[in-house]
Chain A
Amino acid sequence: KAGVTQTPRYLIKTRGQQVTLSCSPISGHRSVSWYQQTPGQGLQFLFEYFSETQRNKGNFPGRFSGRQFSNSRSEMNVSTLELGDSALYLCASSLRQGSYNEQFFGPGTRLTVL
Protein backbone atom coordinates (compact mmCIF):
# COMPACT_ATOMS: atom_id res chain seq x y z
CA LYS A 1 0.00 0.00 0.00
CA ALA A 2 1.51 3.34 -1.01
CA GLY A 3 2.05 5.88 1.74
CA VAL A 4 1.07 9.51 1.92
CA THR A 5 2.73 11.50 -0.83
CA GLN A 6 3.34 15.22 -0.93
CA THR A 7 4.40 17.36 -3.86
CA PRO A 8 6.56 19.20 -4.36
CA ARG A 9 9.14 18.17 -1.76
CA TYR A 10 10.96 21.50 -1.90
CA LEU A 11 9.80 24.94 -2.91
CA ILE A 12 11.37 28.38 -2.93
CA LYS A 13 9.17 31.44 -3.23
CA THR A 14 9.49 35.16 -2.60
CA ARG A 15 7.46 37.36 -0.30
CA GLY A 16 4.05 38.27 -1.64
CA GLN A 17 3.73 35.25 -3.89
CA GLN A 18 1.28 32.45 -3.36
CA VAL A 19 1.90 28.72 -3.23
CA THR A 20 -0.13 25.53 -3.55
CA LEU A 21 0.96 22.30 -1.93
CA SER A 22 -0.52 18.91 -2.73
CA CYS A 23 -1.16 15.82 -0.62
CA SER A 24 -2.31 12.39 -1.76
CA PRO A 25 -3.54 10.26 1.15
CA ILE A 26 -3.26 6.54 1.56
CA SER A 27 -5.83 4.78 -0.58
CA GLY A 28 -9.11 4.53 1.29
CA HIS A 29 -8.28 7.27 3.77
CA ARG A 30 -10.84 10.06 3.75
CA SER A 31 -9.32 12.42 6.31
CA VAL A 32 -6.41 14.71 5.49
CA SER A 33 -4.87 17.05 8.04
CA TRP A 34 -2.24 19.70 7.44
CA TYR A 35 0.47 20.82 9.85
CA GLN A 36 3.21 23.44 9.89
CA GLN A 37 6.51 22.52 11.50
CA THR A 38 8.99 25.20 12.53
CA PRO A 39 11.93 24.92 14.93
CA GLY A 40 10.47 27.36 17.44
CA GLN A 41 6.82 26.29 17.39
CA GLY A 42 6.99 22.59 16.69
CA LEU A 43 4.08 21.02 14.88
CA GLN A 44 1.06 23.28 14.57
CA PHE A 45 -2.26 22.08 13.29
CA LEU A 46 -3.61 23.97 10.29
CA PHE A 47 -6.83 22.21 9.31
CA GLU A 48 -8.48 18.87 8.70
CA TYR A 49 -10.60 17.85 5.75
CA PHE A 50 -12.95 14.90 5.70
CA SER A 51 -15.22 14.02 2.80
CA GLU A 52 -14.37 17.29 1.01
CA THR A 53 -15.39 19.45 3.98
CA GLN A 54 -13.18 21.31 6.41
CA ARG A 55 -13.97 19.78 9.80
CA ASN A 56 -11.46 21.40 12.07
CA LYS A 57 -9.25 24.45 11.90
CA GLY A 58 -6.22 25.64 13.81
CA ASN A 59 -5.25 29.17 14.69
CA PHE A 60 -3.81 30.41 11.42
CA PRO A 61 -4.68 33.52 9.39
CA GLY A 62 -7.01 33.38 6.43
CA ARG A 63 -4.01 33.42 4.06
CA PHE A 64 -3.84 29.70 4.73
CA SER A 65 -6.61 27.77 3.01
CA GLY A 66 -7.22 24.30 1.73
CA ARG A 67 -9.56 22.04 -0.06
CA GLN A 68 -10.18 18.37 -0.61
CA PHE A 69 -11.28 16.67 -3.78
CA SER A 70 -13.65 13.78 -4.26
CA ASN A 71 -10.73 11.36 -4.48
CA SER A 72 -9.58 12.61 -1.03
CA ARG A 73 -6.52 14.34 -2.43
CA SER A 74 -6.00 17.67 -0.73
CA GLU A 75 -4.34 20.94 -1.56
CA MET A 76 -3.19 23.70 0.73
CA ASN A 77 -2.78 27.25 -0.49
CA VAL A 78 -0.88 30.08 1.15
CA SER A 79 -1.37 33.54 -0.32
CA THR A 80 0.73 36.67 0.15
CA LEU A 81 3.67 34.72 1.49
CA GLU A 82 5.64 36.10 4.42
CA LEU A 83 9.15 35.23 5.54
CA GLY A 84 7.69 33.54 8.62
CA ASP A 85 5.83 31.08 6.43
CA SER A 86 9.10 29.27 5.77
CA ALA A 87 8.54 25.86 7.30
CA LEU A 88 8.05 22.18 6.69
CA TYR A 89 4.42 21.53 5.79
CA LEU A 90 3.21 18.05 6.64
CA CYS A 91 0.01 16.36 5.72
CA ALA A 92 -1.39 13.28 7.39
CA SER A 93 -4.17 10.94 6.38
CA SER A 94 -6.41 8.66 8.36
CA LEU A 95 -9.48 6.54 7.81
CA ARG A 96 -11.64 8.44 10.24
CA GLN A 97 -11.96 12.07 11.17
CA GLY A 98 -9.93 13.13 14.18
CA SER A 99 -8.06 9.83 14.46
CA TYR A 100 -4.82 11.25 15.79
CA ASN A 101 -3.44 7.87 16.83
CA GLU A 102 -4.13 6.45 13.39
CA GLN A 103 -2.61 9.21 11.29
CA PHE A 104 0.03 8.49 8.69
CA PHE A 105 2.22 11.41 7.78
CA GLY A 106 3.80 12.26 4.47
CA PRO A 107 7.45 13.35 4.18
CA GLY A 108 6.48 17.02 3.98
CA THR A 109 7.07 19.95 1.67
CA ARG A 110 9.91 22.25 2.66
CA LEU A 111 8.87 25.81 1.80
CA THR A 112 11.44 28.59 1.84
CA VAL A 113 10.24 32.16 1.48
CA LEU A 114 12.91 34.68 0.47
Chain B
Amino acid sequence: DQQVKQNSPSLSVQEGRISILNCDYTNSMFDYFLWYKKYPAEGPTFLISISSIKDKNEDGRFTVFLNKSAKHLSLHIVPSQPGDSAVYFCAAGTGNQFYFGTGTSLTVIP
Protein backbone atom coordinates (compact mmCIF):
# COMPACT_ATOMS: atom_id res chain seq x y z
CA ASP B 1 0.00 0.00 0.00
CA GLN B 2 1.48 3.33 -1.06
CA GLN B 3 2.10 5.57 1.93
CA VAL B 4 3.25 8.40 -0.30
CA LYS B 5 1.37 9.20 -3.49
CA GLN B 6 2.10 11.42 -6.41
CA ASN B 7 -1.09 11.26 -8.42
CA SER B 8 0.16 13.17 -11.46
CA PRO B 9 2.61 11.06 -13.43
CA SER B 10 3.45 13.97 -15.70
CA LEU B 11 3.21 17.75 -15.92
CA SER B 12 4.02 20.21 -18.73
CA VAL B 13 4.66 23.88 -18.06
CA GLN B 14 5.77 26.81 -20.19
CA GLU B 15 9.17 28.30 -19.43
CA GLY B 16 8.89 31.19 -16.98
CA ARG B 17 5.62 29.97 -15.48
CA ILE B 18 5.09 28.25 -12.14
CA SER B 19 5.36 24.48 -11.79
CA ILE B 20 3.41 22.92 -8.94
CA LEU B 21 4.07 19.30 -8.06
CA ASN B 22 1.86 17.61 -5.50
CA CYS B 23 2.34 14.81 -3.03
CA ASP B 24 -0.01 13.16 -0.51
CA TYR B 25 0.87 10.92 2.40
CA THR B 26 -1.20 8.71 4.65
CA ASN B 27 0.68 8.49 7.95
CA SER B 28 0.14 11.41 10.31
CA MET B 29 3.27 10.37 12.24
CA PHE B 30 5.55 11.40 9.36
CA ASP B 31 7.57 14.40 10.43
CA TYR B 32 10.11 14.98 7.69
CA PHE B 33 9.56 15.45 3.99
CA LEU B 34 11.93 15.68 1.05
CA TRP B 35 11.92 16.29 -2.67
CA TYR B 36 14.42 14.73 -5.05
CA LYS B 37 15.05 15.43 -8.71
CA LYS B 38 16.13 12.75 -11.16
CA TYR B 39 17.52 13.16 -14.66
CA PRO B 40 17.58 10.17 -17.05
CA ALA B 41 20.52 7.81 -16.51
CA GLU B 42 21.42 9.54 -13.25
CA GLY B 43 20.54 8.86 -9.64
CA PRO B 44 18.13 11.16 -7.77
CA THR B 45 19.60 14.30 -6.21
CA PHE B 46 18.28 15.92 -3.06
CA LEU B 47 16.42 19.16 -3.77
CA ILE B 48 14.71 20.53 -0.69
CA SER B 49 13.22 19.33 2.57
CA ILE B 50 10.81 20.45 5.28
CA SER B 51 10.13 19.29 8.79
CA SER B 52 6.69 19.06 10.29
CA ILE B 53 7.29 22.07 12.54
CA LYS B 54 7.23 24.32 9.47
CA ASP B 55 4.67 24.88 6.75
CA LYS B 56 6.99 26.43 4.19
CA ASN B 57 10.62 26.19 3.19
CA GLU B 58 12.21 28.18 0.41
CA ASP B 59 15.47 27.72 -1.48
CA GLY B 60 15.90 30.00 -4.45
CA ARG B 61 13.34 29.16 -7.09
CA PHE B 62 12.10 26.15 -5.12
CA THR B 63 9.53 26.32 -2.32
CA VAL B 64 7.97 23.41 -0.50
CA PHE B 65 4.65 23.84 1.28
CA LEU B 66 3.36 21.44 3.92
CA ASN B 67 -0.28 21.11 4.94
CA LYS B 68 -0.27 18.67 7.84
CA SER B 69 -4.02 18.60 8.33
CA ALA B 70 -4.50 17.57 4.71
CA LYS B 71 -1.40 15.36 4.72
CA HIS B 72 -0.29 17.13 1.58
CA LEU B 73 2.88 18.76 0.40
CA SER B 74 3.68 20.59 -2.78
CA LEU B 75 6.78 21.80 -4.57
CA HIS B 76 6.61 25.13 -6.37
CA ILE B 77 9.21 26.07 -8.96
CA VAL B 78 9.17 29.72 -10.00
CA PRO B 79 10.12 30.59 -12.66
CA SER B 80 10.36 27.22 -14.39
CA GLN B 81 13.35 26.68 -16.65
CA PRO B 82 13.97 24.03 -19.33
CA GLY B 83 16.75 22.58 -17.14
CA ASP B 84 14.11 21.77 -14.54
CA SER B 85 12.73 19.07 -16.83
CA ALA B 86 13.19 15.89 -14.81
CA VAL B 87 11.32 13.38 -12.67
CA TYR B 88 10.55 14.67 -9.18
CA PHE B 89 10.11 12.30 -6.25
CA CYS B 90 8.69 13.26 -2.90
CA ALA B 91 9.55 11.29 0.22
CA ALA B 92 8.04 11.30 3.68
CA GLY B 93 8.82 9.50 6.87
CA THR B 94 10.11 9.58 10.38
CA GLY B 95 13.31 8.46 12.04
CA ASN B 96 15.11 6.07 9.78
CA GLN B 97 12.19 4.96 7.65
CA PHE B 98 11.20 6.95 4.60
CA TYR B 99 8.77 6.24 1.81
CA PHE B 100 8.96 7.59 -1.70
CA GLY B 101 6.27 8.46 -4.19
CA THR B 102 6.16 7.15 -7.75
CA GLY B 103 7.43 10.41 -9.22
CA THR B 104 6.11 13.17 -11.47
CA SER B 105 7.80 13.83 -14.78
CA LEU B 106 8.05 17.58 -15.34
CA THR B 107 8.59 18.99 -18.82
CA VAL B 108 9.32 22.68 -19.13
CA ILE B 109 8.59 23.87 -22.64
CA PRO B 110 10.87 26.64 -23.96
Cα(A105)–Cα(B100), bound, Å? 14
Binary interface encoding of chain B residues 44-56 relative to chain A, with 1 for a CB under 8 A from any of its CBs, else 0: 1110010000000
Would you call B43 and A4 a contact (CB within 8 A)?
Answer: yes
Determine how close the nearest CB of chain A comes to the CB of B46; give it in whole angstroms: 6
Would you call A100 and B44 a contact (CB within 8 A)?
Answer: no
Would you call A45 and B98 a contact (CB within 8 A)?
Answer: yes
Would you call B96 and A97 a contact (CB within 8 A)?
Answer: yes
Question: Quick one: which of A85-108 are within 8 Å of B by CB?
Answer: 90, 92, 97-98, 100-108
Determine how close the nearest CB of chain B comes to the CB of A89; give it in whole angstroms: 11
Would you call A90 and B98 a contact (CB within 8 A)?
Answer: no
Number of interface residues of B (CB under 8 A): 24
> Knowing A42-B89, A42-B103 touch, does A100 contact B45 (C-beta < 8 A)?
no
Residue in B2, B4, B6, B44 whose Cβ sees the most chain A Cβ within 10 Å = B44
Across the interface, which residues of B come within 8 angstroms of A105, CB to CB? 42-45
Binary interface encoding of chain B residues 73-110 relative to chain A, with 1 for a CB under 8 A from any of its CBs, else 0: 00000000000000001010101111111110000000
Cα(A98)–Cα(B98), bound, Å? 9
Cα(A108)–Cα(B45), bound, Å? 13
Asked if B34 is at the interface (CB within 8 A of a chain A CB), the reply is: yes
Cα(A39)–Cα(B89), bound, Å? 12
Would you call A92 and B96 a contact (CB within 8 A)?
Answer: no
A to B CB contacts below 8 Å, 18 in the list? A39-B102, A42-B4, A42-B102, A42-B103, A43-B91, A44-B100, A45-B97, A45-B98, A48-B96, A56-B96, A98-B95, A98-B96, A100-B46, A100-B93, A100-B98, A101-B49, A103-B46, A108-B43
Binding site for B on A (CB under 8 A): 4, 35, 39-45, 48, 55-56, 58, 90, 92, 97-98, 100-108
